[in-house]
């Protein structure tokens, strides 16, 4: 775009999509170690002395049954199973009773009970993906652009530089706002419906230029428009829009920095030059580049970014 040796136009405001890391899982605690059933303490026996009266032999004591533990591997009592079976039977009997009771009730009169509110089955609004979102095509971004949307303020600032807007205009016949048969054909083939232009001067009054936005049907059509006439010497470009002030009235005379880029189905085109129209030297190309991109980024870029997010006017 423009003069040779300059850097290519950056893609406007690409915001990479981030990813949220998965939450870490919980660590489950281990079950307590199984304990052993308490054993029976050994019995102590006493030998009676010689003067002690004889005692009747006691019957042998029955061995004490050890307590059942859920961690033991031996035979288990069937009591918990019997209790569970009994509880299950009670629940079944209660359920049968409730069913019979419900069947015996009279149905309510028709029209007295309101049906439950059904959940809304409307699908969630679809947000187009991709780099340009809703602005990728006119089908998802159907509203026409307006001058107040793109060029609202007379003064615009970007990157520490201030640009003064001196005039603005909308053309519904897109071919009237450009120069070159190929460019006009590309706009017609892309179903261009409007080109909006505005002219600016920098704070010094030495650099002047015009920013234009063409509304095409698709991103592919916009890409074709900005690629027409690219090269060292351009013959297809945005037509400069002279102002009535003493500075921008010289727009369109002499050598200029001309080119464009796309934002979805919009083609952004610029024409920037020095006031006296001289051919810029190598060191003077960069200020022209900065002024063209600065005026565009201060005005049309925020509006088109908003279109990408919502498909509506800001």
pLDDT at 101: 45
pLDDT tens digits along 102-133: 444 444 444 444 544 444 444 445 667 789 99
Percent of the chain with pLDDT over 90: 53
pLDDT at 17 over 60: no
Give the residue from 219, 214, 228, 221 showing the smallest Cα distance to 170: 214
Choose the most confident range, by mean pLDDT, from 80-89, 99-108, 134-143.
134-143
pLDDT at 235: 85
Copy the structure tokens of residue 79: 């009591």
For 126-256, where are the E strands, in sequence order?
155-158, 161-171, 178-179, 194-202, 207-215, 237-238
pLDDT tens digits along 168-189: 999 999 999 999 999 999 999 9
* Domain residue ranges in the chain: 138-309
pLDDT at 20: 41
pLDDT at 184: 97
Give CA–CA dist 135/311, Å, rounded: 6
Give the residue from 160, 171, 159 showing the smallest Cα distance to 210: 171
Number of H helices, E strands in the chain: 5, 8
pLDDT at 311: 87
Return the higher-pLDDT residue of 186 and 31: 186
Average pLDDT, the chain: 74
Return the higher-pLDDT residue of 196 and 55: 196
pLDDT at 92: 47
pLDDT at 3: 47
- The residue-averaged pLDDT of 57-63 equals 51
Return the higher-pLDDT residue of 93 and 216: 216
pLDDT at 81: 38
pLDDT at 14: 41
Choose the most confident range, by mean pLDDT, from 38-42, 82-86, 289-293.
289-293
pLDDT at 130: 85
pLDDT tens digits along 185-209: 999 999 999 999 999 999 999 999 9
pLDDT at 134: 96
Return the higher-pLDDT residue of 260 and 36: 260
pLDDT tens digits along 278-289: 999 999 999 999
DSSP assignment of 68-121 equals P-TT--S---SHHHHHHHHHHHHHHHHHHHHHHHHHHSPPPPTTSSPPPPPPP-
């Amino acid at each position: 775009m423009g003069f040779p040796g300059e850097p290519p136009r950056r893609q406007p405001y690409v915001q990479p999509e981030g990813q949220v890391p998965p939450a870490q899982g919980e660590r489950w605690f281990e079950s307590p170690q199984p304990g052993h059933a308490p054993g029976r303490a050994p019995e102590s026996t006493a030998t009676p002395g010689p003067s002690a009266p004889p005692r009747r032999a006691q019957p042998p004591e029955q061995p004490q049954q050890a307590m059942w533990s859920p961690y033991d591997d031996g035979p288990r009592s069937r009591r918990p199973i019997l209790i569970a079976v009994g509880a299950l039977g009670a629940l079944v009997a209660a359920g049968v009773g409730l069913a019979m009771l419900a069947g015996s009730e009279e149905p309510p009169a028709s029209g007295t009970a309101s049906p439950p509110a059904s959940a809304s089955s409307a699908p969630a609004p679809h947000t187009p993906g991709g780099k340009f979102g809703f602005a990728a095509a006119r089908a998802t971004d159907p509203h026409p652009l307006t001058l107040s949307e793109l060029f609202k303020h007379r003064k615009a600032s970007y990157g520490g530089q201030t640009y003064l807007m001196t005039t603005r205009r909308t053309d519904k016949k897109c071919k009237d706002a450009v120069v070159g048969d190929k460019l006009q054909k590309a706009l017609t083939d892309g179903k261009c419906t409007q080109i909006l232009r505005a002219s600016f001067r920098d704070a010094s009054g030495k650099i002047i230029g015009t920013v234009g936005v063409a509304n095409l049907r698709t991103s592919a059509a916009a890409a074709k428009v900005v690629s027409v006439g690219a090269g060292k010497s351009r013959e297809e470009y945005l037509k400069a829009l002279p102002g009535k002030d003493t500075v921008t009235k010289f727009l369109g005379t002499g050598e200029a920095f001309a080119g464009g880029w796309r934002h979805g189905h919009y083609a952004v085109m610029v024409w920037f030059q020095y006031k006296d129209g001289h051919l810029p030297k190598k060191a003077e190309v960069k200020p022209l580049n900065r002024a063209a991109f600065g005026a565009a980024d201060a005005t049309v870029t925020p509006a088109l970014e908003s279109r990408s997010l919502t498909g509506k006017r800001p």
